[in-house]
Amino acid sequence: MTTATHAATYDDRNPATGEVIAQIPESSHDDVDRAVRAARAAFDGGKWSSMAASRRAKIINKMAALIAERANELMLTEVRDNGKAVATAKGEMGAIVDCFEFYAGAATKNYGETMPPPLPTYLANTVREPVGVVGAIIPWNFPLLLASWKVAPALAAGCTVVLKPAPSTPLTAIELGKIALEAGVPEGVLNVVTGSGREVGQWLVEHPLVDKIAFTGSTATGKLVAKTAAETLKRVTLELGGKSPSIVFDDANLDAAVAAAIYGIYYNAGQACEARSRVLVQKNVYDRFVADFTERAKNVRVGNPEDPQTQVGAITIPEQFEKIRSYCEIGKSEGARLLLGGERAQVEGANANGMFWSVTAYEADASARIAREEIFGPVVTFVPFADEAEAIAIANASEYGLSASVWSENIGRANRVARAIRSGTVAINTPYAVFPGVPFGGYKQSGYGRELGIETMRLYSETKSVLTYIGEKPLNPFGV
């Protein structure tokens, strides 16, 4: 592993306390170039890309084992870097191990195909080859988890990687780099560059020796990434923002639907791309649902992220805290009815630098900005609907299409609605819908490409067609 040469560093802070926890290199253009060249040389050298898939699988499994072994330490690092509740981070560590194990298994199953012979004297088959050098760019909300969603399939496919974490949460990505080396991933295969997106991220997307960009972040940055990557025709996958709805019908198990709706928005302080930030409720159960939600949401424990009892920790970056505050102002000016929260949360023992926001709920018109735009915080908006058709229309009246939930005991209706919704995931009667093996990604402006699936392996591969002539008579097309 080579390290940054550039002298500049910046402060990495714990958002729950404001304390500086690390000095992080602000990678220079030269650092990024060296990381890309290291990845290129490792790829072209073939040590990893041409290694037997079963051997790659063993090494990726070893990464999973090392992560499991260090789960407690990684979890605490994540909590201090990101501000999330330790209970949330603990769940992520399990999911990260599962992700590496899933793709270790997938490494040996990146099958090609054999076609029906195009001519009787031909054999035609495809092989899947690694796409090359991957630039992986991730946001700050699930730092190690989202890194694993990219690094695990990329490594499994035989690619080499330059990983750029978000500047506010780089610590677990750096640890992942060390874990890879310890597990036996050859030098140069996984590289980590830190620094800002505007510079370091942009250079990675521009670099002519990078073959693919796997990006998770906001829709606005995703569009910029796609535009920049087009200059060198890089392969691009984009996991972007969302304004995901929960649709609750009058025949739903309302008790379970309320519990899931509370979790669906306040989990990770609402800083989740798939957060169910719009809850559409059928009119005849609307008042009951909203009253129950508001009452029970008061029990959600916002507090010190390191306390195992805490369910909602700090907001990760000041810009995000400001964004949440400003959306609550917008809600007020739009005439939305505030049902809960709407202000900085008072957390016992926290100092003035701790960025905590209270669990917040509004009732608003479907056309209100707070009901349409991604807030990315613990802020939910309730919208009533009359019938199935109106529920579908409101759900789909969004530029996003990442996730949705449907709550109904009528399984025919639930599946009908699931089909009508334009989003990459639909969860029926459950708060949990993200698992390794189940593709995750967006429709519309929530991006393109899928993570977590077996199909994801294809997005880190190129298909090569191999045609073999097996006839006895030599071919001589020009008869020369």
Q: Which of 273, 274, 328, 374 is catalytic?
A: 273
The 3-class secondary structure across the chain, one letter per residue, is CCCCCCCCEEEEECCCCCCEEEEEECCCHHHHHHHHHHHHHHHHHCCCCCCCHHHHHHHHHHHHHHHHHCHHHHHHHHHHHHCCCHHHHHHHHHHHHHHHHHHHHHHCCCCCCEECCCCCCEEEEEEEEECCEEEEECCCCCHHHHHHHHHHHHHHHCCEEEEECCCCCCHHHHHHHHHHHHHCCCCCCEEECCCCHHHHHHHHHHCCCCCEEEEECCHHHHHHHHHHHHCCCCEEEEECCCCCEEEECCCCCHHHHHHHHHHHHHHHHHCCCCCCCEEEEEHHHHHHHHHHHHHHHCCCCECCCCCCCCCECCCCCHHHHHHHHHHHHHHHHCCCEEEECCCECCCCCCCCCCCCECCEEEECCCCCHHHHCCCCCCEEEEEEECCHHHHHHHHHCCCEECEEEEECCCHHHHHHHHHHCCCCEEEECCCCCCCCCCCECCEECCEECCECCCCHHHHCEEEEEEEEECCCCCCCCCCC
Spot the catalytic one: 239, 363, 374, 451.
Answer: 239
Task: Tell me which of 83, 177, 241, 436 binds ligand NAP, using CB under 6 A.
Answer: 241
436 touching ligand NAP, by CB under 6 A = no
12 binds Mg ion (CB under 5 A): yes
| Per-residue x/- track, 210-249, Mg ion (CB under 5 A) | ----------------------------------------
Catalytic (active site) residue 182: no
x/- contact string, 376-405, with ligand NAP (CB under 6 A)?
A: x-------------------------x---
92 contributes a contact to ligand NAP by CB under 6 A: no
* Chain residue whose CB lies nearest Mg ion: 81
Taking residues 155 to 184 in sequence order and writing x for each that binds Mg ion by CB under 5 A, - otherwise, the string is -------------x----------------
User: Is residue 101 close enough to count as binding Mg ion by CB under 5 A?
Assistant: no
- Using the rule CB under 6 A, is 268 a contact of ligand NAP? no
Q: Which entry of ligand NAP, Mg ion, none binds 224, CB below 5 to 8 A by partner kind?
A: ligand NAP
From ligand NAP, Mg ion, none, interface partner of 403 (C-beta below 5 to 8 A by class) = none
* Options 81, 98, 175, 211; binder of Mg ion; rule CB under 5 A: 81
Q: Which residues bind ligand NAP (CB under 6 A)?
A: 137-141, 146, 164, 166-167, 196-198, 201-202, 205, 216-218, 221, 224-225, 239-242, 273, 374, 376, 402, 442, 447
Give the active site residues.
Answer: 239, 273
Binding site for Mg ion (CB under 5 A): 12, 81, 168
